[in-house]
Amino acid sequence: MSISPDDITAVILAGGRGERMGGVDKGMLILQDKPLVQHVIDVIEPHVHEIVINANRHIDYYRGLGYRVVEDMFPGFAGPLAGIATSMHQVSTGWVLVAPCDVPGIPPDFTERLVEASVRSNSGIAVAHDGKHLQSAHLLLPVSLMPELDSWIVSGRRSIKEWLGIHDIGLADFSGDPDAFTNINTPDDLEDAW
């Protein structure tokens, strides 16, 4: 099995409340003269067919970046898994690559390593691993899993890690670059970044 860039839509998760950031929309925060979400876009865009931004606030802002914006179909800020499932309903490719908007340091070969790990897994799901922790919101998965994911969320379950736990997943090894998955959750994190 091979997965080409034309087979992949990237879903950038920007649908959270930003509670630890005082309610600020983290994707809009500026780091080195550009919004956090743009850092993620710049790394991923050359390696995928299309980018979709999952957002529940500031829709016009994200559309203004030139990308399609998908709002959660599940009510009440249901979490990143809901953003992934919702976005899967809106793509035309067979695969979705997922990354949060608040992790600006993902490495240039992020997509390539997830594709390699996906080929090694029985489920087609690949997840980044930093050498110590599973980075469960950084993943590649087949859109064919959409009905299962919808059912999982409708049943009230929200944890990505729990859902991944029922699958044979491929691990993409990023242990050589563990800081790549440092996310910006607080004003101090933003101040300390890079």
Rounded Cα distance between 75 and 53, Å, is: 17
pLDDT, mean of residues 162-180: 93
Nearest 5°: CA angle at 157, between 94 and 123?
A: 35
Domain count, the chain: 1
The pLDDT of residue 116 is above 90: yes
DSSP letter at 127 equals: E
Query: What does pLDDT average to over the chain?
Result: 89
User: What is the average pLDDT across 125-153?
Assistant: 95
* 6-54 pLDDT per residue, tens: 999 999 999 665 555 455 788 898 888 999 999 999 999 999 999 999 9
Q: What is the reported pLDDT for 79?
A: 81
Whether pTM exceeds 0.85: yes
Share above pLDDT 70 across residues of the chain, in percent, rounded to a whole number? 88
| Residue 115: pLDDT over 90 | yes
Question: Quick one: pLDDT at residue 190?
Answer: 61
Write out the residue range of the structural domain in which residue 128 sits. Answer: 5-192
Q: What is the structure's pLDDT at 76? A: 66
**Minimum mean pLDDT range among 20-29, 56-65, 101-110, 151-160:** 20-29
Q: Beta partners for 31?
A: 34
Q: Do the beta carbons of residue 52 and residue 11 sit within 8 Å? A: yes
Q: What is the CATH number of the domain that holds 88?
A: 3.90.550.10
